[in-house]
Structure 1
Amino acid sequence: MASEGPKSLAFFLLVLNLVLYGIVTIIAGWAVNYGIEYSHQTASTLTIPAHLFPIYYPIGNMATGFFVIFALIAGLVGVATSISGIDGILQWTVPNLLSAATYSTTTWFLTILAMGLACKEINIGLTDAKLRTLEVLTIIVSATQLLCMGVIHVGVTDVVNRQKFSGGRV
């Protein structure tokens, strides 16, 4: 069958993204917890710009707070999208693939936002090794999510074309 290639590739990419987004969520959750625990004692001695963001991260720079929050949001949405996308890919029908395509596009936009903040944090510098790992994983998962989104859109086109030519309802 012609649709087995995109189906198996999409399934592989969704499982890979599930693992990567899970790791991003774990590291970002740790960073939020670390920032909450140590922000009071560290930020009390700093000048006013440090108090603009409610959580001060002593392990990063001024972009860390925004990056960690958006990475956590992108990670959680990515895990949910990967789980629902795996279900949609296994069923391989037009409505399920269209919902998987919509979810993957939304997740990619959130991941690109987190990736932009990761690039800003890399540009500023002075980050911890765990934050550098989170930055690298965010950049990698933005690329794999883009590939996954493309494969799902190819699968939608394939299924729609097969139904048109087989006389089925679209």
Structure 2
Amino acid sequence: MAIVVRNIAAPLLFLNLVMYFIVLGFASWCLNRYINGQTNHPSFGGNGATPFFLTFSIMAAVVGIVSKFAGSNHLRAWRNDSLAAAGSSAITAWALTVLAFGLACKEINTGGYRGWRLKILEAFIIILTVTQLLYLSMIHAGVFSSRYGPGYRDADYGLGGATGDPMHKGTGHGGAVTASRV
């Protein structure tokens, strides 16, 4: 069952990576036009929520792209220690994407003329909010059962396979530790 979850999470990771790059491109172009005062461009437009939406879209895209590097490392290793890095960065990316999603909803609700680039950016943010949540649930599926992948409740987590008491390095009978050749 863990293989199935892993095989579903990998295409979602790639899809989200491509979509975050598209969001970064569109949001950067729109923010550049907005800073230059070219809001009357036929494919731009906007309203009062636009600068905030563009700022959070760029932040969500950058953090989302970086989180996919940790996610790809986790999908390659598929271990508990890589899950912590992939999970925390994916949650952060999803949180920023949800903030951008809220601003996209506000921008749509405010109305006014919005060009096709802003509409595409809004649509990509809305889609990314759902697909990032799906990806997040796939990599955290092991929390519920170890059948679905690595989780935080494994008994040997953090032990490193050591046997015996790690605090006492004696010879077992209370004597001194002999030196070893290197």
Structure 1 length-normalised TM: 0.81
2:4 paired with 1:13: no
Q: Where does the alignment leave 5 or more consecutive residues of structure 2 unmatched?
A: 159-182
Is structure 2 residue 153 aligned with structure 1 residue 153? no
- Name the larger-Rg structure: 2
Shift, 1:147, TM fit: 0.4
Deviations 1:38-65 (A, max 9, x none): 25x98xxxxxxxxxxxxxxx72001001
CA drift of 1:93 comes to 0.7
Distance in 2, matches of 1:115 and 1:162, equals: 33
Does 2:56 align with 1:75? no
CA displacement, residues 2-54 of structure 1 (integer Å, 9 cap, x when unaligned): 31111111111111100011100000010111112225x98xxxxxxxxxxxx
Out of 91, 96, 101, the residue aligned to residue 110 of structure 1 is: 96
Q: 2:5 touches 2:138 (CA, 8 Å); kept in 1?
A: yes
Map of 1:50 onto structure 2:
none
SS at match of 2:151: helix
The aligned amino acid for 1:130 is R
Tell me the SS of whatever aligns to 1:38.
coil
Q: Residue type of the partner of 1:133?
A: I
Shift of 1:163: 4.7
TM-score (structure 2 length as normaliser): 0.76
| Residue 138 (structure 1) aligned with residue 129 (structure 2) | no
Unaligned runs of 5+ in 1: 43-57
The answer to which of 135-144 and 100-109 deviates more is 100-109
* Alpha-carbon distance in structure 2 between the residues aligned to 1:161 and 1:128: 46
Q: What's the RMSD between the two structures over aligned residues? A: 2.0
Aligned sequence identity (%)? 38
Q: Any residues of structure 2 matched to 1:41-60 within 5 Å, and which?
A: 59-60=45-46
Give, as a single letter, the amino acid of the residue that structure 2 aligns with 1:138.
I
Provide the C-alpha distance between the structure 2 equivalents of 1:95 and 1:142, rounded to a whole number of angstroms.
Answer: 26
